[in-house]
Amino acid sequence: MTLLPIGSLAPDFVTQNQDGQSCRLSDYRGQIVVLYFYPHDNTPTCTQEACNLRDNYAALQAKGLAILGVSTDDEKSHQKFIQKHQLPFTLLVDTNQTICNLYGVWQLKKFMGREFMGIIRTTYIIDAQGYIVDVIAKVKSQQHSEQILGSSFFVNAAITNF
C-alpha cells in the first residue's frame, strides 16, 4: 500500500473520537487539518510526538490548524492518553484500520526480526477544501510541530502573501 499523493482529495471518513462522539473529516471543511497517524497510545515515541504537539499547540492554532491524531487504540485508551499527558487535541479511534487503509499507512513493518502489520507514522496536511497539500512521511517525534509549521504548504503560502 502506498501513501496518498499531494493534490489528491483526502478521503472522508466517519469514526468516534476519544469521547465516543461521531467525527467526520468533512466536519473540518473550512479549516486546515493536520491528520497524524501514530502506532499506539502511551508508547515512548508516540508520547514524545503527542507532547511535542501539545507543547507547540498555541503556535499550531495560530496557523488555524485542527489537529487530529489517529491510531488503532480504543476510546478508553485515548482518554487515558489525553488525561495523562494533558493533550488539547482530538484523538480518533480506528480499531478496524479503516482510516489507516484509506490513507495507506497500514503497512508491513519489521522490528527485531519480526514482521507484522501496523501503522507507519505519517502526517497529512489537508487544506480547507479537503485536498492533501503535504505529506510528512518521515516524522521526527520530538520535532513534529516544527515539521508541520515548516511544511512547504505554509512556506509557499507565506511567499504568495507578499
Q: List, by residue number, the catalytic residues.
A: 46
User: φ, ψ for residue 118 (rounded to 5)?
Assistant: -170, 180
3-state secondary structure of 138: coil
The cell numbers describing 144, all together, are: 513534529
3-state secondary structure of 158: helix
145 within 8 A of 59, measured Cβ to Cβ: yes
Q: Is the dihedral of CA 38, 132, 99, 25 positive or negative?
A: positive
